[in-house]
């Protein structure tokens, strides 16, 4: 019998060690990297298994277990803030029996302490990032993330960009409150839609989007994100006392805080369960995402008696709603072409209602996703809404196959323009290679005229959109055939604007060759590679005819980039564009550099922060013309760090390595 018990304990110990590694890894991806690899539900199930094993074998509980501490670390680049009152996490439960057990324990403690029968407040568990806001004499002075519960990150300046955080309260009081920073469902959908159009990686859920936005080292990025906050707790207050949590929340509203709008006062277990069900039924109509309902003891004196563990309060518990899944038919798979040419397969589904929304289509990401799921057209599939927002196919019910299902193959040519569609080694995406594919045209135009490319001042996204909408341009070369009256028609009294833009377009014709190569948007070819290619081939037509061998032997090019260049110049669309650009008078030949000033020879510069007097490209051009090199990372080989405003981690690293740091004015003196 003892041997059997010991064997079970050994098995439990092994599994607990595995769960420690798994939970630590996924907690880091979730809390520190804001980039989870598994769903919240999958993570919750790992934590539940760990908690149950530790309950069964208490001798195997260790201090470093995530059941005993709060996940999250302070990100490098932020100041540390010690929380006077710890920002603890909540104990998660997944069925009503555990809610009842919680209430029975609280009721028993109230009886023993001769306190009136406890009442509760049920609130929505907002899916965001917890933060503490500190006020002195009613003025907002500091804000911090939860971090590990004891120490968080100072994000004061970032929090100041959130419009719903009052900078001055309606009373001159010293108070610290806790709230949840989040992004509304509507704003989250718009953010992801824009990222999808730009073919950037989608945010997995609104929580990680909010967390990643708040924990930006550059507050300008945070300011561009649609962050909001709901306050749900008083951490510390001077000069006032409250008896109940509900009373605290009412007072916070009067002070001017944006308080959690869903708070239901409950007198007993039946009312608590009813409130949880009500929130569950109405969660789809809420403007913000939730991942559960929180049950809190209302009486603050009873809270003190109940106390806390090292990680969680004993006076609150969080009920987590299970993810809703539904079966439907995969009717078809179509392919969309994004603005950067990525061809994305899209599932066309038999419409099905999941978590309050009717789902009729969803992205299938790429070819690998379809293969991994073994998806076929005609399959019965299981749909789930990830993070309450993004619908996804999570499974295929192969038992329901009839044999009439159809295999899907990614197209070999672009479904929009007919140019070859390629998938490069090591990449998941399949891309259209046509430079003038209508699906890519807007993005290609924006890149072509950008500062680092042809630098056509005044030709921004809005003007490009208008030119396309009015049919004044239909390809890149058309820019050079625009007439004054065409541009003037875009704006009221637009003659002056039109003349300035015509001048800017004319000036771009004399650009150096590397700018044209950059502007063409060849995959893997940025400014640095463009300069190397321009210097070696000296003529766009010679580059177009360069062999794979010649390209792959070029410094810093290599076989992958060489193949991309060859693929690009083999396209009829590309050669046709170059002919029209040449005909328009655009320079396609490398200019001879008669400068003999190599004062920066042997030196390496790194640029960081926001430069006011130069763009990054302009500063890099100057350095390279004077014989120097630029690098994107700081190392012992770095000679100078050119630091602008809001310089971040590169500045810190340069200081630690003893690298010479120069300002823009000092740089200006160096290049005189």
Token pair listed for 166:
């009052």
**Helix 206-214 and helix 185-197, axial crossing angle in degrees, nearest 10:** 80
Q: What is the mean pLDDT of residues 306-323?
A: 89
Percent of the chain surpassing pLDDT 70: 94
| Mean pLDDT value across the chain | 88
Query: Strand runs (DSSP E) across 267-354, as ranges?
Result: 290-297, 316-319, 325-337, 342-354
Q: What is the mean pLDDT of residues 323-348?
A: 88
More confident residue, 451 or 581: 581
200 with 150: CB under 8 angstroms?
A: no
pLDDT value for 405: 93
Q: Is 442 in the same domain as 497?
A: yes
Q: Is 165 in the same domain as 298?
A: yes
Q: Tokens 């350095």 appear where?
A: 623
Q: Is the pLDDT of residue 299 over 60?
A: yes
Instruction: Report the half-sphere exposure of 203 (CA within 13 A, side-chain side).
Output: 25
Residue after which a domain boundary falls, among 583, 616, 638 = 583
Q: Is 496 in the same domain as 611?
A: no
What value, to the nearest 5°, has the Cα angle with vertex 456 and ends 531 and 578? 60
Give the DSSP H or E segment for 222: helix 219-223
The rounded distance, in Å, linking the Cα atoms of 611 and 622 is 14
Q: What is the mean pLDDT of residues 523-533?
A: 90
More confident residue, 253 or 341: 253
- Write the DSSP symbol of residue 520: T
pLDDT value for 269: 94
Any domain includes 240 = yes
Q: Is 448 in the same domain as 495?
A: yes
The rounded distance, in Å, linking the Cα atoms of 99 and 339 is 49
pTM: 0.57
CATH number for the domain harbouring residue 353: 2.40.50.140
Does the annotation count 536 as an active-site position? Answer: no
Q: Is 210 in the same domain as 293?
A: yes
Any domain includes 335 = yes
Q: Is 476 in the same domain as 610?
A: no
Residue after which a domain boundary falls, among 288, 319, 350 = 319
446-471 burial code (b ≥16 CB/10 A, e <16):
bbbbbebbbbbeebeeebbeebbeee
Strands of the sheet with 129-136, listed across from one edge? 139-145, 129-136, 175-183, 227-237
Segment 412-427, tens digit of pLDDT: 999 988 888 988 877 8
Any domain includes 197 = yes
pLDDT value for 13: 80
Q: What is the mean pLDDT of residues 93-98?
A: 91
Any domain includes 546 = yes
Query: Strand runs (DSSP E) across 453-504, as ranges?
Result: none
pLDDT value for 34: 59
453 with 519: CB under 8 angstroms?
A: yes
Domain count, the chain: 5
pLDDT value for 266: 96
Any domain includes 302 = yes
Q: Is 294 in the same domain as 329?
A: no
Q: Is the pLDDT of residue 585 over 90?
A: yes
The rounded distance, in Å, linking the Cα atoms of 27 and 211 is 13
* Residue 44 structural domain: 2-60
The rounded distance, in Å, linking the Cα atoms of 553 and 539 is 18
Catalytic residue among 119, 125, 185, 376: 125
Any domain includes 79 = no
Q: Tokens 């608590």 appear where?
A: 272
pLDDT value for 5: 60
Distance (Å) of CA 383 to CA 68, 196, 390, 395, 624: 35, 20, 10, 8, 54
Q: How far is CA 168 from the centre of its chain?
A: 31
Handedness of CA 565, 568, 569, 575 (dihedral sign): negative
Q: Is 184 in the same domain as 94?
A: yes
Token pair listed for 48:
């539940």
- Write the DSSP symbol of residue 592: P
Q: Is 518 in the same domain as 555?
A: yes
Q: Is the pLDDT of residue 248 over 70?
A: yes
Q: What is the mean pLDDT of residues 53-71?
A: 75
389 confidence band (pLDDT: 50, 70, 90): low
Q: What is the mean pLDDT of residues 575-584?
A: 95
Distance (Å) of CA 171 to CA 131, 134, 138, 239, 246: 21, 14, 6, 12, 19
When mean pLDDT is compared across 233-242, 425-434, 598-607, the lowest value belongs to 425-434
394 confidence band (pLDDT: 50, 70, 90): confident
CATH number for the domain harbouring residue 32: 1.10.287.610
pLDDT value for 3: 55
The rounded distance, in Å, linking the Cα atoms of 506 and 510 is 8
371, burial (CB in 10 Å: exposed 0-12, middle 13-18, buried 19+): exposed
CATH number for the domain harbouring residue 609: 3.40.50.10190
Distance (Å) of CA 74 to CA 31, 108, 142, 151, 333: 10, 39, 16, 7, 44
106 confidence band (pLDDT: 50, 70, 90): very high
Any domain includes 493 = yes
Q: Tokens 């709060």 appear where?
A: 70
Residue after which a domain boundary falls, among 277, 304, 319 = 319
Pairing mode of beta strands 80-82, 175-183: unpaired
Q: Is 172 in the same domain as 313?
A: yes
Segment 229-246, tens digit of pLDDT: 999 999 999 999 999 999
Q: How far is CA 618 from the centre of its chain?
A: 29
pLDDT value for 304: 94
Q: Is the pLDDT of residue 44 over 80?
A: no
CATH number for the domain harbouring residue 191: 3.30.470.30
Which residues have a Cβ under 8 Å from the Cβ of 591 and sit 6 or more positions away? 512, 513
Segment 531-572, tens digit of pLDDT: 999 989 999 999 999 999 999 888 778 888 999 899 899 988
When mean pLDDT is compared across 27-31, 84-88, 318-322, 388-392, the lowest value belongs to 388-392
Segment 182-212, tens digit of pLDDT: 999 889 888 888 877 776 777 767 888 888 8
**3-class DSSP assignment, residue 266:** strand
What helix, strand, coil percent values describe the chain, rounded to 5? 40, 20, 40
Q: Is the pLDDT of residue 411 over 60?
A: yes
Q: Is the pLDDT of residue 69 over 70?
A: no
Any domain includes 123 = yes
Q: Is 262 in the same domain as 139?
A: yes
The rounded distance, in Å, linking the Cα atoms of 531 and 201 is 29
Give the DSSP H or E segment for 124: strand 120-126
| DSSP one-letter string for 173-231 | --EEEEEEEEE-HHHHHHHHHHHHHTTPPPPSSHHHHHHHHHT-SSHHHHHTS-EEEEE
Q: Is 248 in the same domain as 134?
A: yes
Q: What is the mean pLDDT of residues 603-608?
A: 92
């Amino acid at each position: 019998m003892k041997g059997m018990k010991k064997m079970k304990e050994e098995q439990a110990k092994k599994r607990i060690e595995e769960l420690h590694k798994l939970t630590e890894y996924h907690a880091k991806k979730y809390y520190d990297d804001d980039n989870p690899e598994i769903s919240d539900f999958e993570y919750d199930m790992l934590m539940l298994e760990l908690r149950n094993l530790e309950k069964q074998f208490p001798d195997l509980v260790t201090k470093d277990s995530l059941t005993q501490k709060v996940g999250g670390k302070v990100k490098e680049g932020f100041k540390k803030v010690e929380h006077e009152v710890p920002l603890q996490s909540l104990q998660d439960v997944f069925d009503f029996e555990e809610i009842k057990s919680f209430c029975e324990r609280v009721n028993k403690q109230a009886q023993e302490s001769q306190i009136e029968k406890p009442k509760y407040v049920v609130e929505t568990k907002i899916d965001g990032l917890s933060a503490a806001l500190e006020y002195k004499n009613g003025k907002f002075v500091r804000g911090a993330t939860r971090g590990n519960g004891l120490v968080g990150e100072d994000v004061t300046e970032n929090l100041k960009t959130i419009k719903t955080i009052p900078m001055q309260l309606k009373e001159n009081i010293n108070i610290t409150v806790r709230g949840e920073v989040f992004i509304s469902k509507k704003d989250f959908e718009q953010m992801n839609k824009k990222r999808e159009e730009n073919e950037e990686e989608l945010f997995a859920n609104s929580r990680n989007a909010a967390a990643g936005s708040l924990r930006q080292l550059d507050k300008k990025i945070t300011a561009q994100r649609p962050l909001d906050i709901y306050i749900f707790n008083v951490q510390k207050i001077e000069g006032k006392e409250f008896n109940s949590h509900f009373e605290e929340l009412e007072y916070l509203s009067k002070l001017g805080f944006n308080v959690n709008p869903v708070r239901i006062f409950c007198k007993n277990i039946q009312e608590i369960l009813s409130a949880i069900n009500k929130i569950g039924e109405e969660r789809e109509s809420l403007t913000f995402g939730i991942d559960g309902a929180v049950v809190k003891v209302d009486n603050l004196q009873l809270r003190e008696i109940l106390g806390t563990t090292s990680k969680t309060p004993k006076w609150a518990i969080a009920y987590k709603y299970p993810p809703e899944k539904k079966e439907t038919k995969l009717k078809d798979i179509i392919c969309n072409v994004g603005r950067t040419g990525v061809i994305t397969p899209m599932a066309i589904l038999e419409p099905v209602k999941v978590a309050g929304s009717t789902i009729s289509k969803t992205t299938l990401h790429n070819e690998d996703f379809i293969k991994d799921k073994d998806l076929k057209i005609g399959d019965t599939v299981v749909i789930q809404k990830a993070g309450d927002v993004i619908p996804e196919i999570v499974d295929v019910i192969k038992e329901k196959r009839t044999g009439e299902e159809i295999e899907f193959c990614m197209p070999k040519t672009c479904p929009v323009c007919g140019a070859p569609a390629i998938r490069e080694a090591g990449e998941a995406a399949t891309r259209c290679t046509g430079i003038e594919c209508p699906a890519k045209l807007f993005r290609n135009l924006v890149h072509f005229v950008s500062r680092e490319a042809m630098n056509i001042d005044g030709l921004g996204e809005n003007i490009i959109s208008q030119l396309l909408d009015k049919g004044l341009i239909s390809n890149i070369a058309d820019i050079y055939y625009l007439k004054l009256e065409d541009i003037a028609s875009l704006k009221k009294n637009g003659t002056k604007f039109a003349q300035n833009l015509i001048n800017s377009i004319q000036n771009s014709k004399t650009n150096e060759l590397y700018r044209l190569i950059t502007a063409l948007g060849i995959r893997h070819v940025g400014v640095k590679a463009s300069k190397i290619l321009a210097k070696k081939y000296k003529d766009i037509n010679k580059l177009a005819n360069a062999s794979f061998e010649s390209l792959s032997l070029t410094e810093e090019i290599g076989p992958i980039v060489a193949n991309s260049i060859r693929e690009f110049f083999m396209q009829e669309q590309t050669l046709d564009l170059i002919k029209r650009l040449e005909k328009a008078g655009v320079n396609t030949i490398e200019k001879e550099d008669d400068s003999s000033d190599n004062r920066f020879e042997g030196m390496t510069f790194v640029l960081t922060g926001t430069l006011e007097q130069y763009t990054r490209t302009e500063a890099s051009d100057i350095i390279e013309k004077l014989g120097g090199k630029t690098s994107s990372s700081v190392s012992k080989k770095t000679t100078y760090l050119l630091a602008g405003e809001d310089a971040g981690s590169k500045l810190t690293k340069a200081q630690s390595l003893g690298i010479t740091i120069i300002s823009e004015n000092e740089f200006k003196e160096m290049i005189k």
